[in-house]
Amino acid sequence: MNRRDRTQLFKGLGFLSPWLVGFSVFTLVPVVLSLYYSLCDYSLLQPPLYVGLNNYRDLMADPIFWKALVNTFYYALMALPAGMLVSLGLALLLNADIRGQAIYRTIIFLPSLVPAVASAMLWLWLFNAKLGLINTMLGWVGIEGPGWLTTPEWAMPALAFMSLWGVGHTVVIYLAGLQDVPRELQEAAEIDGARAWHRLWRVTIPMISPVIFFNLVMAIIGTLQVFSSPYIMTGGGPTRATYFFTMYLYDNAFTYLKMGYASAMAWVQLLIILALTGLAFWSSRRWVHYGGR
């Protein structure tokens, strides 16, 4: 490089330096340290002691680890498809040319702006077995509502149902994709005699398949990392029916001070998310269409 190129390079690095320093200090270094700590017996109070793969071997023999992992997948199997379908359905409705469209869009998006703690407290009241609004409304039609958060059979479905409260961000992304669907394709299909369902399935869905794929990947990451709402609302109960993977990781790190064990759990979680995301990318070749292909 000549002198001018070097000057431009240094200027560019200078502008990038705040981000590079922040990324290195707050992301890269902690990630590298967590990998090292996962191979150590580390209690935060004593220097880390290298133990090799012992933490990973202990995880495989830990029944609570498997319980938390099963709970997380059970929640994901309910919350992920429900969230995808509900958000897409709402986006299709909000994309229609109706009076008050902006008001409806605002109403759907507002819950996603509510802080997680405030949402959890609100739903704690809604799910209350005696005074909650849901059971009160069920009582009006002669149905005795269950203990939503106090019964092992209902606690996890209740949390999955609550997750639909915050689909506003996903709805907005779907709306952006729907508005990019060429109108002439819809009109051509209608002229050819295609009904509304066939236009949706044969034209709209393929055209927004990249958006669906993006939301799927984000949903996989989000549902496998769920923490704040169940931690506040149930604390993992009843009888560990809502004890999620991230809750067990948090307890090991900050309650039991087993930072090495928690770091091993974090890397196992990362590998699971990478595997499922890789599976989604592999399957996308069959159903995701880019540029109308």
The pLDDT tens digits of the residues spanning 60-96 come to: 999 999 999 999 999 999 999 999 999 999 999 999 8
CB atoms within 10 A of CB 136: 13
Model confidence band, residue 192 (pLDDT cutoffs 50, 70, 90): confident
Per-domain residue ranges of the chain: 1-29, 63-287
Query: How buried is 50 (Cβ within 10 angstroms: 0-12 exposed, 13-18 middle, 19+ buried)?
Result: exposed
Rounded CA separation 116/133 (Å):
20
Res 293: pLDDT:
55
Say which residue, 65 or 3, is predicted with more confidence: 65
Bond prior to 63 in cis (omega within 30° of 0) = no
Q: Does position 207 have pLDDT exceeding 70, yes or no?
A: yes
Residue by residue, DSSP assigns 177-241 as HHHTS-HHHHHHHHHTT--HHHHIIIIIHHHTHHHHHHHHHHHHHHHTT--HHHHHHTTT-STTT
Mean pLDDT of 236-245: 94
Of 55, 75, 53, residue with least CA distance to 65: 55
Mean pLDDT of 171-199: 89
Q: What percentage of the chain reaches a pLDDT higher than 70? A: 99
Helices first, then strands: H and E counts in the chain? 16, 2
Non-local (6+) Cβ contacts of 237 within 8 A are 155, 243
Q: What is the DSSP letter of 148?
A: T
* Assigned CATH class of 63-287: mainly alpha
Signed CA dihedral, 2, 7, 8, 9: sign only: positive
Model confidence band, residue 30 (pLDDT cutoffs 50, 70, 90): very high
pTM comes to: 0.91
